[in-house]
Amino acid sequence: MAGEDVEGGGRGGKSGEEMVLPPYFYDVPDPEERRWLPWLVPLFAASNVAVLAAAMFVNNCPAHTAAAGSGRCFAGFLRRFAFQPLRENPLLGPSSLTLEKFGAVQWEKIVHQHEWWRPVTSIWLHAGFIHLLADSLSLIFIGIRLEQQFGFVRIGVIYIVSGIGGNVLSTLFIANGVSVGSSAALFGLLGAMLAELITNWNIYSNKAAAISTLLLIGFVNLAIGIMPLVNNFAHIGGFFAGFFLGFVLLMRPQFDWTERHNLPNFQTISKYKQSQLVMLVMAVIFLLSGFVIGLVMLFRGVNGSKGCHWCTYLNCVPTSKWSCGN
């Protein structure tokens, strides 16, 4: 399966064949390979916009803030869609209570009220407009390319499973707060892209640009992760889940195998290198172990933040501009 619908890594294509992707990612692809029309990643991006719009409508900052006497809404001219006071949510979004209603992760509700669906629903939640903008641009830039090359099934699996994994880790370390988890799924795609870069190293024509893209997107989203309602534990968990899934789902056949019919002295060639298979087995072991350990800890009500006082700064760093008590 992994070799039937992804781009070829060799140079055996027709002369003059043009690439659709940015030139810094790959060498010339095999013209016979199947290229997917991306629709799932744009659907994810549109869903994220719709969910945030619905959350802002329900939030109704002017009505609820006036009743609570907690300060002025930001951009009040937007009326019902005005943002919470910046000290409460500097990312231009709704209140933590509204996000909780929409399914944000919260340790108490998951562990003691058995609302186990929250690690899934949180995948579609953003803390605000700034968070949504950063995630959407990153998702479109990275996700569409991956979906074109590997298809919607594999990219969809990586996105959802990484989101759940990141939100499970996030829940273990935010016992006293509320957090959204959309970036966990995005970091899963980043992790998968890194795994693909490692396993398919020889087909990248400009490895420095590919690595720079990963670092830039990761840095921007990690910076957002120290603000209220977003946390870097979700980012870390999502990244490692996607990283291990990338070794499993994004492996590409070695060049000699894809060109076996064109070789004059063809001999039986293994579809994958031995190193690729070793990384696949190790990735499956680490992925399953991580999920089992995380879920067992969550079911037992473990609070990961106890005994780790510095861990709270990965969740939110308080400043004079905002408060981390959500």
Tens of pLDDT, residue by residue over 38-96, are: 999 999 999 999 999 999 999 999 988 765 556 789 999 999 999 999 989 999 999 99
Closest CA to 25 of 178, 167, 197: 197
* Residue 166: partners with Cβ closer than 8 Å, 6 or more residues away: 181, 183, 184, 185, 187, 188, 233, 234, 235, 236, 237, 238, 239, 241
**What is the DSSP secondary-structure string of 242-282?**
HHHHHHHHS----HHHHTGGG-TT-----SS-HHHHHHHHH
* CATH H-level, domain 40-54+108-260+269-315: superfamily: Rhomboid-like (1.20.1540.10)
Please, what is the Cα angle at 25 between 244 and 29, to 5 degrees? 100
DSSP 141-210: HHHHHHHHHH-HHHHHHHHHHHHHHHHHHHHHH-TTS-B--HHHHHHHHHHHHHHHHHHTGGG-S-HHHH
Domain ranges of the chain: 40-54+108-260+269-315
- Tokens 């074109």 correspond to what residue? 148
pLDDT score at 322: 84
Distance, in Å, from the CA atom of 197 to the CA atom of 191, rounded to the nearest integer, reads 10
As a whole-number percent, the residues of the chain with pLDDT over 70 amount to 82
Q: What is the pTM (predicted TM-score) of this model?
A: 0.85
Percent of the chain at pLDDT exceeding 90: 56
- pLDDT on residue 167: 95
Q: Which residues are catalytic?
A: 183, 235
In angstroms, how far is CA 4 from the centroid of its own chain? 25
Q: Classify 25 as helix, strand or coil.
A: coil
The rounded distance, in Å, linking the Cα atoms of 288 and 122 is: 22
Tokens 């861990």 sit on residue: 311
∠ CA(100), CA(104), CA(105), 5° rounding? 115
Q: Which among 11-15, 84-88, 244-248 has the top mean pLDDT?
A: 244-248
Q: What is the mean pLDDT of residues 147-160?
A: 95
Helix, strand, coil shares of the chain, percent, nearest 5, are 60, 0, 40
Backbone dihedral region of 322: left (phi > 0), alpha (psi from -120 to 50 degrees) or beta? beta
* Cα 253 to Cα 229: distance, rounded to the nearest angstrom: 42
Give the residue carrying structure tokens 């030139």.
Answer: 23
* Confidence tier at 18 by pLDDT (50, 70, 90): very low
Closest CA to 255 of 70, 7, 9, 12: 9
Is pLDDT above 70 for 11? no
SS3 at position 83: strand
pLDDT tens digit sequence for 171-200:
998 877 899 999 999 999 999 999 988 887
- Which of 248-273 are b and which e, b meaning 16 or more Cβ less than 10 Å from the residue's Cβ? bbbbbbbbebbbeeeeeeeeeeebbe
Residue-level pLDDT at 32: 44
How high is the pLDDT of residue 89?
92
